[in-house]
Structure 1
């Protein structure tokens, strides 16, 4: 981390979508984003990419709800800056992407052919500022929750008929009937939860469904997804080409922005028009194809999750989970429930378990006993 009196010179990587930026962000680059209320997953992606500093055109934390991203970045020593809120820069993202800049004394300089040019003042974001916003967010939490519930119920009433109908029948090659299905979303603790569920996956060999970036999460954990479901906005080409069956989630009216990308890769695919989020559709697909059990990892299940996704309610998720009922098990955060801890007593038992067979061999085998006696005599001669 560098202080306000020190300078930082680096190349900027800029994008309005943080998750897209993190795919091409190189270590020690400065990230320029336009992301109000940076969420924990975005912060984790920036940290994994090795970001040097982050400049945000929007507030890292508005105080509307307790977003975790800024705190996570500051705890890891990443300097955070917000752009001068008095100025408007509609094309700044496009202009600065790939540019060499310097931050000095909370001022941003752009490197040009004629030298350094002052670009604008930045506002340094520190722990105290985030703590104040954190308190504000908690003070407003009841009002935020009330609006969230109202929005959820209003949309649930409007959309319930859509979810009562069955999905379009797809001729899937992957058999889901009477099998366990694991639906993986790239949400909080997905890595730890996948690791915790590794014995279950080895024993039951469930159908693995990656929802967009969840397909990459499966590959990173050493698994190949059987199905990839989503609007194809965050999954990599590598995951799409891994051999999994691809289901493109389309709007209820049939519009499918992600279809063109899959077609350009030359892949076979299905189009599934449906309301709700892609993770909702993945669960419904497993349910309507008679899956015996549906286990979800990293899915969005609460108000903070949905606010971080920019959604004001969770009507579709409420309806889908109500419809699936007892077939659904949410494993999100299961790794946080129990983590085995080593104790001195356990170490003692392990040591005893190793020593007993050795002593038994020495007691029974005369050659081994003679060798130990010779070593003992050699040691006494050397020591005394």
Structure 2
């Protein structure tokens, strides 16, 4: 998938994570064999796509997947999909207005999703209770987090802009920097060196992995860790974290278990609509319980940036005072009484030196 491509997919209830990836890739259009909005709940993907101006054609059917070969030149026009000059499928073109209308209708399906979410949460807690309650299985790292603030950067919505807005906070507090998957690349691109990297190494740049951070590779409960082979090929040390949560949640658990004072997040989404979004369905219980566990330590990066935006640093105050003193000195020097003040200061200084010498004679 690259810039200018038309992406053909089959995903019921298009989620935000997929839509964000399509927007970042700057695709020219998206054709979905299934309905992007089924009405079960207000999923976020279609809103992201149409908001970015990317054409979205829905419900073209399974035949379109077979008729459109990879690499074909595809053209979209009023809900019709053409390969060359040949019409191969028809669907429903989505617009900002049509998506908004369907979102209103989809909210009616949220109650059933919430019931399923509750049941999944109880099952997840039963399976992972020792890790959540006792910290068993959480890797012990050499990076000191106790008594320090921790900044966790994940590749979420507007994470690059949010990280940029935290420049003053990072400069003042020097937090421990944890990069989650390509969030580690974002840290390095912004000029920072991650202290800890959490995630599948296959989605992280080699230069970032070799920057000296401690690497934590999430593993399945059976111990299999996707991407560990790449770490071994690069000759980089790493530890595994067997758990069924996603990498974002594991990073928060690591910070909390290592007794961080405050955990600031960038690129994290945990609204009700995000919980119900299809792309997070497998990790919703983990996300929900992790937020409860970390509790009062957790602060969104947008709030931190807003607080620091209005603060004046001590250095700025010192520079302001020095500038005022220089201005006063310059005014005295060019005034008519400047010479008199200079003579008085000189005589006072000489008298002080004579008095000081007398103390030691």
TM over 0.5: yes
TM-score by length of 2: 0.74
Separation (CA, whole Å) in 1 of partners of 2:59 and 2:286: 36
Which of 257, 261, 265 is equivalent to 2:226? Answer: 257
Deviation at 1:106, TM superposition (A): 3.6
Please list every run of 5 or more consecutive structure 2 residues that lacks an aligned counterpart in the other structure: 311-325, 336-361
Pair 1:296 & 2:265 matched: yes
Alignment match, 1:219: 188
Alignment match, 1:271: 240
Which of 288, 293, 298 is equivalent to 1:323? Answer: 293
Alignment match, 1:373: none
Instruction: Look up the SS of the partner of 2:99 in the other structure.
Output: helix
Deviation at 1:209, TM superposition (A): 0.5
Native 8 Å contact 1:29 1:52 kept in 2: yes
Alignment match, 2:321: none
Separation (CA, whole Å) in 2 of partners of 1:35 and 1:257: 24
Which of 47, 60, 70 is equivalent to 1:97? Answer: 70
Pair 1:153 & 2:129 matched: no
Which of 23, 26, 34 is equivalent to 1:58? Answer: 34
Which of 307, 310, 315 is equivalent to 2:280? Answer: 310
Q: Deviations over 1:13-63 (max 9, x none)?
A: 4xxxxxxxxxxx22x322223333334454344334332222122322222
Pair 1:46 & 2:39 matched: no
Deviation at 1:313, TM superposition (A): 6.4
Separation (CA, whole Å) in 2 of partners of 1:105 and 1:320: 45
Alignment match, 2:45: 69
Separation (CA, whole Å) in 2 of partners of 1:207 and 1:226: 6
Which of 85, 104, 112 is equivalent to 1:135? Answer: 104
Native 8 Å contact 1:188 1:333 kept in 2: no
The structure with the greater share of residues assigned to helix is: 2
- Could you say if the C-alpha distance between residues 141 and 307 of structure 1 is closer, same or farther in structure 2, counting changes exceeding 3 Å? closer
- Could you say if the C-alpha distance between residues 222 and 62 of structure 1 is closer, same or farther in structure 2, counting changes exceeding 3 Å? farther
- Could you say if the C-alpha distance between residues 60 and 363 of structure 1 is closer, same or farther in structure 2, counting changes exceeding 3 Å? farther
Separation (CA, whole Å) in 2 of partners of 1:278 and 1:222: 23
Which of 91, 108, 116 is equivalent to 2:81? Answer: 108
- Could you say if the C-alpha distance between residues 262 and 88 of structure 1 is closer, same or farther in structure 2, counting changes exceeding 3 Å? farther
Instruction: Say which one has the larger Rg.
Output: 2
Q: Deviations over 1:265-286 (max 9, x none)?
A: 4432222223422222212222
TM-score by length of 1: 0.70
Separation (CA, whole Å) in 2 of partners of 1:338 and 1:66: 32
